[in-house]
Structure 1
Amino acid sequence: MADDDDDDCMLTQEALAESRLANAARIVKDGEELMDYLYNRGQYTDKKLAPRPDLIFLDLNMPKKDGREALREIKADSQLRSIPIIVLTTSKAEEDIHRSYDLGANSFIIKPMTFSSLVEVMKTIGKYWFETVKLPL
Protein backbone atom coordinates (compact mmCIF):
# COMPACT_ATOMS: atom_id res chain seq x y z
CA MET A 1 0.00 0.00 0.00
CA ALA A 2 1.35 3.39 -0.97
CA ASP A 3 -0.34 6.10 1.09
CA ASP A 4 1.00 8.95 3.20
CA ASP A 5 -2.01 9.12 5.54
CA ASP A 6 -1.29 7.07 8.66
CA ASP A 7 -4.97 6.86 9.63
CA ASP A 8 -5.97 5.56 6.20
CA CYS A 9 -3.17 2.99 6.33
CA MET A 10 -4.23 1.81 9.78
CA LEU A 11 -7.90 1.59 8.81
CA THR A 12 -7.07 -0.29 5.61
CA GLN A 13 -4.92 -2.78 7.52
CA GLU A 14 -7.73 -3.29 10.04
CA ALA A 15 -10.25 -3.72 7.23
CA LEU A 16 -7.99 -6.29 5.54
CA ALA A 17 -7.76 -8.22 8.82
CA GLU A 18 -11.51 -7.92 9.41
CA SER A 19 -12.21 -9.21 5.90
CA ARG A 20 -9.96 -12.19 6.67
CA LEU A 21 -7.38 -11.58 3.97
CA ALA A 22 -4.30 -13.43 5.13
CA ASN A 23 -1.90 -11.59 2.84
CA ALA A 24 0.72 -9.49 4.59
CA ALA A 25 0.35 -5.77 3.95
CA ARG A 26 3.39 -3.57 3.58
CA ILE A 27 3.12 0.21 3.59
CA VAL A 28 5.21 2.88 1.90
CA LYS A 29 4.59 6.60 2.34
CA ASP A 30 5.09 7.99 -1.18
CA GLY A 31 5.80 7.14 -4.80
CA GLU A 32 9.58 7.32 -4.40
CA GLU A 33 9.50 4.82 -1.54
CA LEU A 34 7.17 2.60 -3.57
CA MET A 35 9.65 2.53 -6.45
CA ASP A 36 12.51 1.78 -4.03
CA TYR A 37 10.45 -1.10 -2.64
CA LEU A 38 9.64 -2.50 -6.09
CA TYR A 39 13.24 -2.20 -7.30
CA ASN A 40 14.71 -3.41 -3.97
CA ARG A 41 16.72 -0.24 -3.44
CA GLY A 42 17.78 1.56 -0.29
CA GLN A 43 16.15 0.11 2.83
CA TYR A 44 14.41 -2.53 0.67
CA THR A 45 17.43 -4.43 -0.66
CA ASP A 46 16.48 -7.60 1.22
CA LYS A 47 13.91 -9.31 -1.00
CA LYS A 48 12.71 -11.41 1.95
CA LEU A 49 11.63 -8.22 3.71
CA ALA A 50 10.40 -6.59 0.49
CA PRO A 51 8.89 -9.35 -1.66
CA ARG A 52 7.15 -8.61 -4.95
CA PRO A 53 3.58 -7.56 -4.13
CA ASP A 54 0.58 -9.47 -5.43
CA LEU A 55 -1.41 -6.25 -5.54
CA ILE A 56 -0.74 -2.54 -4.95
CA PHE A 57 -3.16 -0.12 -3.31
CA LEU A 58 -2.09 3.29 -4.58
CA ASP A 59 -3.15 6.70 -3.33
CA LEU A 60 -2.89 9.46 -5.92
CA ASN A 61 -1.99 12.39 -3.69
CA MET A 62 1.32 11.76 -1.95
CA PRO A 63 4.47 13.83 -1.41
CA LYS A 64 7.73 13.50 -3.35
CA LYS A 65 6.32 11.38 -6.20
CA ASP A 66 2.56 11.17 -6.46
CA GLY A 67 0.55 8.09 -7.35
CA ARG A 68 0.10 9.13 -10.98
CA GLU A 69 3.86 9.30 -11.54
CA ALA A 70 4.43 5.97 -9.77
CA LEU A 71 1.63 4.34 -11.76
CA ARG A 72 3.14 5.57 -15.02
CA GLU A 73 6.58 4.19 -14.07
CA ILE A 74 5.27 0.81 -12.90
CA LYS A 75 3.16 0.21 -16.00
CA ALA A 76 6.06 1.26 -18.26
CA ASP A 77 8.35 -1.41 -16.76
CA SER A 78 8.01 -4.86 -18.32
CA GLN A 79 9.02 -6.53 -15.04
CA LEU A 80 6.43 -4.66 -12.95
CA ARG A 81 3.47 -3.97 -15.24
CA SER A 82 1.73 -7.26 -14.45
CA ILE A 83 1.26 -6.28 -10.78
CA PRO A 84 -2.39 -5.25 -10.40
CA ILE A 85 -2.79 -1.70 -9.15
CA ILE A 86 -5.91 -0.51 -7.40
CA VAL A 87 -6.08 3.24 -7.04
CA LEU A 88 -7.56 3.80 -3.58
CA THR A 89 -8.03 7.51 -3.12
CA THR A 90 -10.32 10.24 -1.85
CA SER A 91 -10.41 11.88 -5.29
CA LYS A 92 -13.73 11.79 -7.09
CA ALA A 93 -12.49 13.87 -10.02
CA GLU A 94 -13.41 12.43 -13.42
CA GLU A 95 -10.00 13.54 -14.69
CA ASP A 96 -8.26 11.39 -12.04
CA ILE A 97 -10.44 8.39 -12.87
CA HIS A 98 -9.81 8.62 -16.61
CA ARG A 99 -6.11 9.39 -16.22
CA SER A 100 -5.60 6.48 -13.81
CA TYR A 101 -7.12 4.03 -16.26
CA ASP A 102 -5.19 5.59 -19.15
CA LEU A 103 -1.99 5.02 -17.17
CA GLY A 104 -2.86 1.36 -16.63
CA ALA A 105 -4.67 1.15 -13.29
CA ASN A 106 -6.65 -2.06 -12.90
CA SER A 107 -9.30 -0.48 -10.65
CA PHE A 108 -10.20 2.91 -9.24
CA ILE A 109 -11.90 2.97 -5.84
CA ILE A 110 -12.92 6.05 -3.91
CA LYS A 111 -12.08 5.50 -0.24
CA PRO A 112 -15.27 4.56 1.60
CA MET A 113 -16.47 6.90 4.32
CA THR A 114 -17.21 4.22 6.95
CA PHE A 115 -15.13 1.38 8.32
CA SER A 116 -17.83 -1.19 7.54
CA SER A 117 -17.90 -0.03 3.92
CA LEU A 118 -14.11 -0.33 3.76
CA VAL A 119 -14.32 -3.89 5.11
CA GLU A 120 -16.85 -4.76 2.39
CA VAL A 121 -14.57 -3.27 -0.27
CA MET A 122 -11.65 -5.33 1.04
CA LYS A 123 -13.76 -8.51 1.03
CA THR A 124 -14.75 -7.85 -2.57
CA ILE A 125 -11.16 -7.11 -3.58
CA GLY A 126 -9.93 -10.25 -1.84
CA LYS A 127 -12.54 -12.45 -3.43
CA TYR A 128 -11.87 -11.07 -6.90
CA TRP A 129 -8.08 -10.63 -6.94
CA PHE A 130 -7.08 -13.60 -4.78
CA GLU A 131 -9.80 -16.19 -5.43
CA THR A 132 -11.22 -15.48 -8.90
CA VAL A 133 -8.41 -14.02 -11.01
CA LYS A 134 -5.30 -15.99 -11.93
CA LEU A 135 -2.30 -13.68 -11.53
CA PRO A 136 1.14 -14.24 -13.08
CA LEU A 137 3.93 -15.29 -10.74
Structure 2
Amino acid sequence: MNAHDAAEPADILLVEDNPGDVRLTKEAFKDGQITNTLHVVDDGVEALDFLFQRNEYEDAPIPDLVLLDLNLPRKNGDEVLAELHEDPRRRRIPVIVLTSSEAETDVVKSYELCACGYLTKPVDPDEFISTVRELEQFWLSIMRLPSESNLD
Protein backbone atom coordinates (compact mmCIF):
# COMPACT_ATOMS: atom_id res chain seq x y z
CA MET A 1 0.00 0.00 0.00
CA ASN A 2 1.22 3.47 -0.79
CA ALA A 3 0.59 6.09 1.84
CA HIS A 4 0.09 8.42 -1.06
CA ASP A 5 -3.06 6.94 -2.55
CA ALA A 6 -5.56 9.68 -3.36
CA ALA A 7 -8.08 8.23 -0.90
CA GLU A 8 -5.56 8.28 1.92
CA PRO A 9 -3.90 11.63 2.67
CA ALA A 10 -0.22 11.43 3.47
CA ASP A 11 1.02 12.83 6.76
CA ILE A 12 4.17 14.87 6.28
CA LEU A 13 6.23 16.31 9.11
CA LEU A 14 8.15 19.46 8.29
CA VAL A 15 10.88 20.22 10.82
CA GLU A 16 11.86 23.80 10.06
CA ASP A 17 12.60 26.84 12.21
CA ASN A 18 12.62 29.45 9.42
CA PRO A 19 9.09 30.93 9.08
CA GLY A 20 9.77 31.96 5.48
CA ASP A 21 10.70 28.40 4.47
CA VAL A 22 7.65 27.07 6.32
CA ARG A 23 5.43 29.48 4.38
CA LEU A 24 6.99 28.53 1.03
CA THR A 25 6.67 24.82 1.80
CA LYS A 26 3.02 25.23 2.77
CA GLU A 27 2.42 27.13 -0.47
CA ALA A 28 4.06 24.41 -2.54
CA PHE A 29 2.02 21.67 -0.85
CA LYS A 30 -1.21 23.65 -1.06
CA ASP A 31 -0.84 24.05 -4.81
CA GLY A 32 0.23 20.43 -5.31
CA GLN A 33 -2.10 17.80 -6.69
CA ILE A 34 -1.48 15.29 -3.92
CA THR A 35 -3.73 15.21 -0.89
CA ASN A 36 -1.67 15.49 2.24
CA THR A 37 -1.55 16.86 5.75
CA LEU A 38 1.46 18.97 6.58
CA HIS A 39 2.46 19.05 10.25
CA VAL A 40 5.08 21.61 11.27
CA VAL A 41 7.42 21.75 14.25
CA ASP A 42 10.23 24.24 14.64
CA ASP A 43 12.95 22.46 16.60
CA GLY A 44 14.54 19.05 17.08
CA VAL A 45 13.03 18.36 20.49
CA GLU A 46 9.50 18.95 19.16
CA ALA A 47 10.30 16.80 16.13
CA LEU A 48 11.26 13.88 18.35
CA ASP A 49 8.21 14.41 20.57
CA PHE A 50 6.02 14.31 17.43
CA LEU A 51 7.77 11.26 15.98
CA PHE A 52 7.72 9.34 19.26
CA GLN A 53 4.19 10.55 20.12
CA ARG A 54 5.21 12.14 23.40
CA ASN A 55 3.87 15.07 25.45
CA GLU A 56 1.49 17.26 23.43
CA TYR A 57 1.96 14.99 20.39
CA GLU A 58 0.78 11.71 21.90
CA ASP A 59 -2.08 11.58 19.35
CA ALA A 60 0.10 12.62 16.41
CA PRO A 61 0.17 10.31 13.40
CA ILE A 62 3.36 8.52 12.42
CA PRO A 63 4.35 10.58 9.36
CA ASP A 64 4.70 9.06 5.92
CA LEU A 65 7.57 11.43 5.20
CA VAL A 66 9.76 13.81 7.21
CA LEU A 67 11.37 16.92 5.73
CA LEU A 68 14.17 17.82 8.12
CA ASP A 69 16.29 20.94 8.35
CA LEU A 70 19.73 20.35 9.89
CA ASN A 71 20.22 23.67 11.64
CA LEU A 72 17.60 23.55 14.36
CA PRO A 73 17.36 24.88 17.89
CA ARG A 74 17.54 22.60 20.95
CA LYS A 75 18.49 19.45 18.94
CA ASN A 76 19.92 19.64 15.45
CA GLY A 77 18.90 17.50 12.49
CA ASP A 78 21.79 15.07 12.99
CA GLU A 79 20.61 14.37 16.53
CA VAL A 80 17.06 13.80 15.28
CA LEU A 81 18.30 11.40 12.60
CA ALA A 82 20.44 9.52 15.12
CA GLU A 83 17.53 9.01 17.53
CA LEU A 84 15.22 7.89 14.74
CA HIS A 85 17.80 5.42 13.50
CA GLU A 86 18.04 3.85 16.96
CA ASP A 87 14.31 3.05 17.06
CA PRO A 88 13.27 -0.07 15.09
CA ARG A 89 9.78 1.28 14.36
CA ARG A 90 10.73 4.78 13.32
CA ARG A 91 13.94 4.09 11.40
CA ARG A 92 11.81 3.11 8.39
CA ILE A 93 10.17 6.53 8.13
CA PRO A 94 11.72 8.22 5.10
CA VAL A 95 13.56 11.38 6.10
CA ILE A 96 14.65 13.89 3.51
CA VAL A 97 17.12 16.50 4.68
CA LEU A 98 16.02 19.86 3.28
CA THR A 99 18.62 22.39 4.35
CA SER A 100 20.62 25.42 3.29
CA SER A 101 23.92 23.62 3.96
CA GLU A 102 25.95 22.63 0.93
CA ALA A 103 28.79 21.22 3.05
CA GLU A 104 29.93 17.79 1.89
CA THR A 105 30.43 16.75 5.52
CA ASP A 106 26.73 17.43 6.20
CA VAL A 107 25.71 15.40 3.16
CA VAL A 108 27.89 12.45 4.18
CA LYS A 109 26.79 12.56 7.82
CA SER A 110 23.10 12.72 6.85
CA TYR A 111 23.41 9.61 4.71
CA GLU A 112 25.46 7.85 7.40
CA LEU A 113 22.53 8.55 9.75
CA CYS A 114 20.19 6.93 7.20
CA ALA A 115 18.57 9.96 5.58
CA CYS A 116 16.82 8.89 2.37
CA GLY A 117 17.83 12.03 0.55
CA TYR A 118 19.59 15.36 0.87
CA LEU A 119 18.38 18.53 -0.83
CA THR A 120 19.91 21.95 -0.59
CA LYS A 121 17.22 24.61 -0.39
CA PRO A 122 17.26 26.90 -3.41
CA VAL A 123 17.60 30.57 -2.49
CA ASP A 124 15.07 31.70 -5.11
CA PRO A 125 11.50 31.35 -3.72
CA ASP A 126 10.08 30.05 -7.03
CA GLU A 127 12.84 27.43 -7.27
CA PHE A 128 12.23 26.48 -3.64
CA ILE A 129 8.52 25.92 -4.31
CA SER A 130 9.33 23.93 -7.46
CA THR A 131 11.81 21.74 -5.55
CA VAL A 132 9.28 20.99 -2.80
CA ARG A 133 6.61 20.11 -5.38
CA GLU A 134 8.97 17.74 -7.18
CA LEU A 135 9.97 16.18 -3.87
CA GLU A 136 6.34 15.71 -2.92
CA GLN A 137 5.52 14.22 -6.32
CA PHE A 138 8.41 11.76 -6.15
CA TRP A 139 8.02 10.59 -2.55
CA LEU A 140 4.24 10.56 -2.38
CA SER A 141 3.27 9.46 -5.89
CA ILE A 142 6.09 7.42 -7.32
CA MET A 143 7.86 5.79 -4.37
CA ARG A 144 6.30 2.94 -2.47
CA LEU A 145 6.50 3.39 1.29
CA PRO A 146 5.54 0.99 4.07
CA SER A 147 2.15 1.59 5.62
CA GLU A 148 2.08 2.55 9.29
CA SER A 149 0.82 -0.93 10.21
CA ASN A 150 4.02 -2.38 8.76
CA LEU A 151 6.27 -0.15 10.84
CA ASP A 152 5.85 -2.25 13.97
TM-score, reference length from structure 1:
0.92
Q: Which runs of 5+ in 1 are unaligned?
A: none
Give 3-state SS (helix, strand or coil) of 1:27's partner. Answer: strand
Question: What TM-score does the superposition give when structure 2 sets the normalisation length?
Answer: 0.83
Question: Which one has more relative contact order, counting CA pairs under 8 Å at least 6 apart?
Answer: 2
Which whole-Å deviations, capped at 9, do the CAs of 1:46-85 have from their partners, x for residues lacking one? 2xxx111110000000111000000111122110011110
* Structure 2 residue aligned with 1:11: 24
Alignment of 1:1-137 (within 5 A): 1-46=14-59, 50-137=60-147
CA drift at 1:15: 1.4
Which structure features the higher share of strand residues? 2
Range 64-73 or range 108-117, more displaced? 108-117
- CA RMSD of superposed structures (Å): 1.1
Q: CA deviation at 1:134?
A: 1.0
Percent pairwise identity: 39
Moved over 4 A (4+): none
Whether the 8 Å contact between 2:15 and 2:68 is mirrored in structure 1 is yes
Q: Distance in 2 between matches of 1:87 and 1:93?
A: 13
